Amino acid sequence: MRLMPLPQRQLSCGRLNLDLSIPHVMGILNVTPDSFSDGGKYQHVALAVQHAKEMMAAGASIIDIGGESTRPGASAVAVGEEIDRVIPVVQALSQHDVVISIDTSAPEVIRAAVAAGAHIWNDVRALTRDGALQTAVDLDIPVIVMHMRGEPTTMNDLDHYLDVTQDVITELQQRVDVALAAGIKPEHILIDPGFGFAKNAEQNLKLLHEFDQLNVMGYPIVSALSRKRFIGAVVGGTEAKDRVIGSVAAHLISVQQGACIVRAHDVKETVDALKMWQALQSS
C-alpha cells in the first residue's frame, strides 16, 4: 500500500509563502481573446494589471494568468503569441506582494514567466508536453497537476468513466507518479480534479459530491469550477456571468471537503463566503 504524504501547510513561492492551513482564492486573469467567460476583456496590459489589482484588493492571494483559452473547442495558440500576452503582465505584477500563477502547458512560456517573476505552474495538461517534466524539475517551483483527457478540441468525446471520482484519482496519481519519478519534489505538487474537462454535468456534480475522496492522495487540492457550464445547468445560467452564486456555493462545498485553493472569476464574492465559513470554524 502506498504511504501518502501529508499535505504541506506552507507552500514556498519564491520570497512569498502560502499558509495552506487556510483556504486561498486564486483570481483568474485571462489575457486572451476567446476564454469562455471573459475573453477579450483584459488583452491590454493596463486593463489586465488593473483587474489583477482589483482582485488583490478583494482578497485574492494568487493571480492566475492565462494566455491560451482551454474552453471546449478552443484553438491552439503559438508559443510566441502566448509569451507576448503573458509576460508584460507578469512583469508588472511581480512588483507587488502577490503569488503569480501561470496557466500554461508550454515549457517555453513558464520558463519566460518565471524569469519575469512568476511562482506557480498551473498546467491543465499535467506536464505531458515535450520537455514539461524536465522544465518543472529545472525551475523547482510548485506545479498544479490537473486531470484532463485529450485536448480542448477532443475532451468532450472522452467523458467515459466506470466511476468518475475513482478514475480521476487513479489517472491523477499516474501523472503524479511520473512527476515524482522525473525528480519533481513532493512538496511542490498540487492536484486539481479538472472540473469541466472531459466530464459532463452529471459527472462534475458527482465529483463535487465526492470531492473529499481526493484527500487520499495526500496533496494540496485546487478546486477550479468557476462559472463552469455544469453550474449553469443547475442554476439555469445560460451565460457565464449568471453563474456567480452557483460558483461561490460550489467552491465553498469543495473547501468544506478539503480544497485549499479555489480558482475564481468572482473574487470578492468567494472571499466573503470563505470568511463566513472560517468565522464559523473558529467560533
Active site residues: 228, 263
Q: Which of 178, 182, 183, 176 is nearest to 145 (CA)?
A: 176
Tell me the residue type at 38.
D
**β partners of residue 63:** 27, 100
Give the span between the Cα atoms of 152 and 268, in whole angstroms. 29
Cell digits of residue 140: 523547482
With a CB cutoff of 8 Å and minimum separation 6, the contacts of 6 are 218
Residue with cell 484527500: 215
Q: Which of 77, 194, 83 is nearest to 145 (CA)?
A: 194
Q: Which is it for the CA torsion 133, 34, 260, 196, positive or negative?
A: negative
Give the span between the Cα atoms of 73 and 241, in whole angstroms. 20
Contact 155, 200 (CB under 8 A): no
